A and B are shown apart, each in its own frame.
Chain A
Amino acid sequence: MTTAAPPAPALPRARGELSACVLAALRDPELPVPDLREPIATAEPYGDDLQLALYVLYELHYRGFVDVPDDREWDVTLLALRGLMEERFLAALRQDVPGGRDVEEVFGELLTEPADTSGSVSHHLQRGGDLGELREYAAVRSLYHLKEADPHAWVLPRLHGRAKAAMAAVEYDEFGAGRADRVHARLFADLMADLALDPAYGHYLDRAPAQALAVVNLMSLFGLHRSLRGALVGHFAWVEVTSSPGSRRLAEAMRRAGAGPAAQHFYDEHVEADAVHEQVVRHEVIAGLLADEPALAPDVAFGADATTFVEDRLGAHLLSAWRSGRSALRPEPDEGGAR
């Protein structure tokens, strides 16, 4: 298997006015971009159109798209558009996420296994998820897992001392501890192949519901803004704290459904790795950051609570689709899709 850079994905299909304008601008650099302030200000902040437009603009900072020149990443017109959409998204999150909570309260809750698991996707899949649901789950999660830990690497220059050292150590583990075949994104591509999904980066973007785009956009938003470094750290800690028990359930689901060894291994690896990472992130990254910058405590709490908010919305979408016998993916005109 080669380790050369794989091809960039194709641009997705538009989902409304905003995403259509962004995609048109990316296809044709000469095209004048209309004034989108009004449509952005009135757009549904978690809706398909704004979330896809934002996702596409963020993707320029990761791998970009085929036939879009790399330097469009720093196109000031596109950056200005992105800024307006980020403001809309962030303002909605600030409004919808409870404020004024302290870090210990937030993580105390996350560290307690809930009694009511009826809204939990991993519990649902463990209890009886069929292969079709597992494949949809993996397709939806591939938007993040194929760039696993990339959004969090941006925080490294914004951390110092103990927080930086610990964050770099966890990222080193995420990136395979020096071995390409152990990079977590690569392990996820292997899982997708086991589930007969297409492991190409960005392949399922068109199929991903807005709720799944928002989960990844949240990471990019926090990662790309130094002013949100506290929120990035809180978000990352959320991911690590909740990953280990969830991964155990998903590993069981994969085993029960007869998914292949790579599919099981991805989640088995995360049970063990993230039991370590959550300790390191709480005791060293968060504690180190707040020792340096105690004023960031509300942002750390916000980052974790905002993650709960977007993850709950995604979970509700997946479960309501599956419980009513529908696909959780957006339809593809040509074919049946991942199910």
Chain B
Amino acid sequence: MPNDDEREARTATGDVHTAGDGGGPGSGGSGRRPAEAAAAPAGPRPGHTPAAGGATRVSVERGGPLLVEGPVEFVAEDGTRAYSDRFRVAVCTCRRSRTYPWCDTSHRAHERPARPHKEEQ
């Protein structure tokens, strides 16, 4: 089905740790991990509406990734860290990404094939 119910929202910083408030031109690292993660910025409290004064903006699309202002350090349950210094980072929420934790558009809907009861994979 077409994603005609996409919506965008701004929320306060969620569970994604952001690595500092840098990200100016050329300031990023090339996929390497920072020596130590900077402390999460003091974002607005939950429920506080957005994004003044250096808060990290996170947007969501229904059925799609979380879009977080980069750079981002992602800490998985097992402590594994992934780092991205892109200006915006798409964090997978469907868990189908082959490049998890980053989105690879695997969440997208698949057209029904012409033959019934056979799903395109």
Residues of A within 8 A of B (CB): 104-105, 107-109, 111-116, 169, 172-173, 177-179, 182, 244-245, 248, 268, 271-273, 275-276, 278-280, 282-283, 287
The smallest C-beta distance from A201 to any residue of chain B, in angstroms, reads 24
Contact B111 A112 (CB under 8 A): yes
Contact B105 A278 (CB under 8 A): yes
**B108 contact set on A, CB distance < 8 A:** 111-113, 245
Contact B86 A283 (CB under 8 A): no
Contact B110 A275 (CB under 8 A): no
**B89 contact set on A, CB distance < 8 A:** 276
The 8 closest A-B pairs by CB, nearest first: A108-B2, A178-B26, A115-B113, A275-B103, A178-B25, A244-B105, A115-B111, A276-B90
The smallest C-beta distance from A65 to any residue of chain B, in angstroms, reads 32
The smallest C-beta distance from A261 to any residue of chain B, in angstroms, reads 14
Contact A182 B30 (CB under 8 A): yes
A182 vs B29: C-alpha distance in the bound complex, in angstroms? 12
Contact check: which of A105, A112, A279 meets B1 at CB < 8 Å? A112
Query: Mind listing 25 A-B residue pairs with CB under 8 Å?
Result: A104-B4, A108-B1, A112-B1, A113-B108, A114-B111, A116-B114, A172-B87, A173-B87, A177-B25, A177-B87, A178-B26, A178-B27, A179-B30, A245-B105, A248-B98, A271-B104, A275-B65, A275-B104, A279-B61, A279-B65, A279-B67, A279-B88, A282-B6, A283-B8, A283-B67
Contact B109 A112 (CB under 8 A): yes
Residues of B within 8 A of A (CB): 1-4, 6, 8, 25-28, 30, 59, 61, 64-65, 67, 84-90, 98-99, 102-105, 108-114, 120
* Count of inter-chain pairs, beta carbons less than 8 A: 101
A242 vs B105: C-alpha distance in the bound complex, in angstroms? 10
11 more contacts with CB within 8 A, not counting A111-B2, A273-B86, are: A105-B2, A107-B3, A111-B108, A116-B113, A169-B87, A173-B87, A248-B104, A272-B102, A275-B102, A276-B67, A279-B88
The smallest C-beta distance from A123 to any residue of chain B, in angstroms, reads 11
A244 vs B8: C-alpha distance in the bound complex, in angstroms? 21
A115 vs B30: C-alpha distance in the bound complex, in angstroms? 37
Contact B61 A104 (CB under 8 A): no
A222 vs B14: C-alpha distance in the bound complex, in angstroms? 39
